[in-house]
Chain A
Amino acid sequence: MAAKKVFKEKTNKALGVNPDDARLTLTYFSLAFIILFIGGTLGLLQGLNRAGLLELPAWFNYYQVLTAHGILLILIFTALFMVGYFYAALSHTLGGLIPVVRKMGWTALGLMLIGTAFVVTTIVMDEATVLYTFYPPMQASPWFYIGLVFIVLGVWAATIGVFTSAASWKKRNKGEHLPLLAFFAVGAFLLLFFGSIGVTIEVLTLIPWAFGWTETVNVMLSRTLFWSFGHTLVNVWYFTAISAWYVIVPRIIGGRLFSDTLTRVVVVLLVILNVPGGFHHQIIDPGFTEGLKFMHVFMSLSIAFPSLMTAFAMFAVFERTGRKKGAKGLFGWVKKLPWGDVRFLAPMIAMIAFIPAGAGGIAQTNNQLNQVVHNTLWVTGHFHLTVGTTVVLTFFGIMYWLIPYLSKRELTPKINKLGIIQTITWAVGMLFMSGAMHWVGLLGSPRRTSYTTYGDNATALSWDPYLFFLAIGGTLLFIGGGLMIYIVFHLMFKAPKGDTAFPIAEPEDGASPTPKWTERWGLWVVLAIAVISMGYLVPIVDLIFNAPPGSPPFRTW
């Protein structure tokens, strides 16, 4: 066993990363971080405008900035990062990408870029100032929706590549378990595929309507199809992040996997339970009965279960590793963690942020609590805590070893130090911004709204001090983001040459073998479809058959 492991690591070092695969992933990451820079700059402009510190010009107004910020960061940055990361993971754990998969990777990139070009152009021309939720009957240029179709096609091409990789490896390694990181990739892309079906149907009905070939649109149906995607997407990013928590972080701190079986169960549960979770965005919508909404509380809360398993697993790994290094007492292990290593610090802060972020999510899932905060800045705060902190800081943490691994360079102590400064700047920025958003949201300040005092209304004026903190947070985030982009490109092109490992944790000695049933993807797909039907069949049929006369298009911007 030990000899086999040594051998594996040696071949790994000798062969290193396949340069073709490295080029694919590095291209994805370069584009992702350029998009992050543009999206982040737009975010700063918004934060300053919202606090009343900056007036945006009429030719590039707040809502245009918001639309671009949302779409670039929520759809494009995350999609590019996710594909780049998982393709590198597949290449490493499955012994290189097979040529057809690599081709899929490039095709996916091409399709996504064409889509992005359409979307960004229409937004800049002020033909698609509809925010990233693009709720009809607000009608954007048809080219905006066509751009979205290309983005989805890109995502699907990447998905096919991932499935092909896994299937081909299984064929070549009969009876063996798919390596854990590849298992995560399959789960994440399966969920992404399920999540994107609804929104694709929505967009395909919007295109003929935007061209004027159909006169009206079913507003509630569109909205419901959108949210079957809108929230699933969040969990796809979360998936990407926790794959690093489970598989990478234990190795970085010198520990072992928590449990291979439990990790796979979490992956499967996340795939099965996720899609109906999006319904909680519609708790205060008309057209659904209270009974249906209550059933969805259960469906949304069930997603918390695998997350709670994750919380336990992570802290168990930390404690176990600390104790092995000689930690004593209840919290002695905390001191044994490598706090000075940015590859650990960034994902660790991400995990800590997930504690309040997850709790806030559970609160919003419950009907009456949701009503208090729905569409207030609380939601934006929650979103920046979950995605902006938990997911993105984990992504940043991955960069410190994955880019050197791919570019055959090394993370120097100097860049490590800069990375720690970057991580702290980002975390403090988010703390200010997201904290201010949560608080002022509870007081009633709305989200997605340009600077206003509502005619110097006393209530609205009382929100201003918090919005000022929001702007401070936004500025820190801009600095942190800038540092990160410098670090990413430094690690790609300037860092000293060297060998960096792809850190993958091994199971504990004497860990019980993973049962065969974890690989029964056919069954998981059937269960996922059953759960999705349970959540959506009744409301969607009802929205189609009891639909009001449709809505004509409006252009209100």
Chain B
Amino acid sequence: MRMNRYEEIWLILSVGVLVLSMVVTGYQTFAQGMGPPSEMETIDPQKVDETEPFDNPGVFEVGENEYEVVMTLQAFSFTPSDIELPVGAEVTFTMTSKDVIHGFQIAGTNANAMVVPGHIQTITETFDEPGEYLVLCNEYCGAAHEMMSTTITVK
């Protein structure tokens, strides 16, 4: 098949852009540790309340300005809710769902993850700016889905 000369140039340039975007994505994922939330651990979705660490959800200080938030999501709430954290805290959210699929999104940040029953999901976010952050469920989970939200106050 003979190709038009300009077409070849066009395709080489566009493939170049695609490859570049892949290189950037790969570099961010594997060199900078910015990969998407991809926790592999599973859990019995009917025994969340009896399984560690979800038998005791809450905010735990695990290091110097390092926190872990153990969280369950259920229609239509986050446990714990109305979380308070100090400025600069690096927070790992360890989450699972007790019923259907939920979304976990902290508006105004890049923290965004699917929380699926039977699977544990983790995501880490550092809060450098003080203020009140809106946390919401961004996957339709039922009649009061639009009410499913909470806040993180960073002081």
Contact string against A for B residues 1-30, beta-carbon threshold 8 Å, 1 for contact and 0 otherwise: 111101100110011001001101110111
B-facing mask of A429-450, CB < 8 A → 1, else 0? 0000000000000011111111
Task: Contact check, A308 vs B40: say whether CB atoms are below 8 A apart.
Answer: no
The CA-CA distance from A546 to B41 in the complex, in Å, is 10
A338: which B residues are within 8 A, CB to CB?
none
Bound complex: CA A298 to CA B139 (Å)? 26
B138 lies within 8 A of A131 (CB): no
Number of interface residues of A (CB under 8 A): 73
A212 to B31 Cα, complex, angstroms: 48
Flag A303-314 by CB within 8 Å of B: 1 or 0 each: 011001100110
Instruction: List residues of chain A with CB within 8 A of the CB of B43.
Output: 548
Query: B118 contacts which chain A residues (CB < 8 A)?
Result: 219-220, 547-551
A175 at the interface (CB under 8 A from B): no
Could you say which of A24-32, A194-202, A455-463, A464-472 contacts chain B?
A455-463
Contact of A557 among B3, B36, B137, B143 (CB under 8 A): B143
Q: Which of A290, A304, A367 contacts B18 (CB 8 A)?
A: A304
| A204 CB → nearest B CB, Å | 20
Tell me whether B101 and A135 are in contact (CB under 8 A). yes
Say yes or no for B66: interface residue by CB 8 A criterion. no
Any A CB within 8 A of the CB of B62: no
| A367 close to B7 (CB less than 8 A) | no
Cα distance A503–B4 when bound, in Å? 26
Question: Is the pair A286, B108 in contact by a Cβ cutoff of 8 Å?
Answer: no
Assembled-state Cα–Cα distance A546/B145 (Å):
30
In the bound complex, what is the Cα–Cα distance between A546 and B118 (angstroms)?
Answer: 11
Chain A 215-251 near chain B by CB (<8 Å), digits 1 or 0? 0000110010000000000000000000000000000
Stretch with Cβ within 8 A of B (4 or more), from A14-22, A372-380, A530-538: A372-380
Residue of A nearest to B43 (CB): A548
User: B61 at the A/B interface (Cβ < 8 Å)?
Assistant: no
Let me know if B140 and A131 touch, CB within 8 A. Answer: yes
Q: Which residues of the partner chain B approach A368 to less than 8 Å between Cβ atoms?
A: 25, 28-29, 34, 36, 110
Q: Is A451 an interface residue (CB 8 A)?
A: yes
Q: Does B87 contact A (CB under 8 A)?
A: no
Shortest Cβ gap from A393 to chain B (Å): 24
Q: List 17 A-B contacts (CB under 8 A).
A: A63-B140, A129-B143, A137-B100, A219-B118, A283-B36, A284-B37, A286-B37, A293-B29, A293-B38, A294-B30, A301-B22, A305-B18, A446-B137, A448-B138, A457-B132, A512-B2, A556-B76
7 smallest beta-carbon distances between A and B, as pairs:
A556-B142, A548-B118, A444-B107, A548-B42, A446-B138, A452-B146, A286-B119
Task: Given A305-B15, A308-B10, A459-B134, output 9 extra A-B contacts at Cβ < 8 Å.
Answer: A135-B100, A283-B36, A286-B119, A290-B38, A293-B29, A316-B4, A368-B34, A375-B105, A548-B118
